[in-house]
Amino acid sequence: LKTIHYNQLPSFHGLPNEDPLYFIREFYNVLQTFPPHGLNEDQLKMRCFPETLKDRAKAWFMTLAPDSLTTWEKVYSKFIGRYYSHQKTQELRSQIVSFAQQPNEPLHEAWERFKDLQRQCPHHNFPPALLMNSFYDSLHQNFQYMVDNAAGGDIGAKTAEEMMEIFETMSTNSSQKSSRGKKAMVHEIAPGQDMIAHQIAELTEQMRLLNARSFQSVQAMTIESCGTCGVHGHRSEVCPSAFDQDFGEPHIDANALQGYQNQPATSTMHHDLPKKERDPGGFVIKIALGNEKEASGMLDLGAEINLMPFSIFQRLGLGDLRPTRMCLQLADRSIRYPKGVVEDVLVHVGKLIVPVDFVILDVGEVHENGKDHTILLGIPFMATTNTLIDVKNGMLNMTVLGESVSISVREATSASSVNFVEECAFVDITDPFVEEIAQQEWKARYIPDFEDNKEPT
Please give the pLDDT value at position 387. 92
Map out the domains of the chain with their CATH numbers: 3-84 (1.10.1200), 88-178 (no CATH), 284-416 (2.40.70.10)
Mind listing the pLDDT tens digit for each residue in 399-421? 999 899 998 876 555 544 444 43
Name the strand (E) or helix (H) holding 288: strand 284-289
Strand order, beta sheet including 403-408: 388-390, 395-400, 403-408
Which H helix or E strand runs over 442? helix 432-452
Q: Is 167 exposed, middle or buried (0-12, 13-18, 19+ CB in 10 A)?
A: buried
Query: CB under 8 Å to 2, separation ≥6 — which residues?
Result: none
Instruction: List pLDDT tens digits, range 329-372.
Output: 777 778 888 989 999 888 998 888 999 999 998 887 655 554 56
List CB contacts of 233: < 8 A, sequence separation 6 or more.
224, 226
Q: Average pLDDT over the chain, rounded to whole?
A: 77
Work out the pLDDT band at 457, boundaries 50, 70, 90.
very low
pTM over 0.75: no
pLDDT of residue 13: 92
Mean pLDDT value of segment 125-142: 88
CA 11 centroid distance within chain:
50
How many CA atoms does the CB half-sphere of 174 hold within 13 Å? 17
Confidence class for position 379, pLDDT limits 50, 70, 90: very high
Report percent pLDDT > 70 for the chain. Answer: 70
pLDDT, greater one: 367 or 172: 172
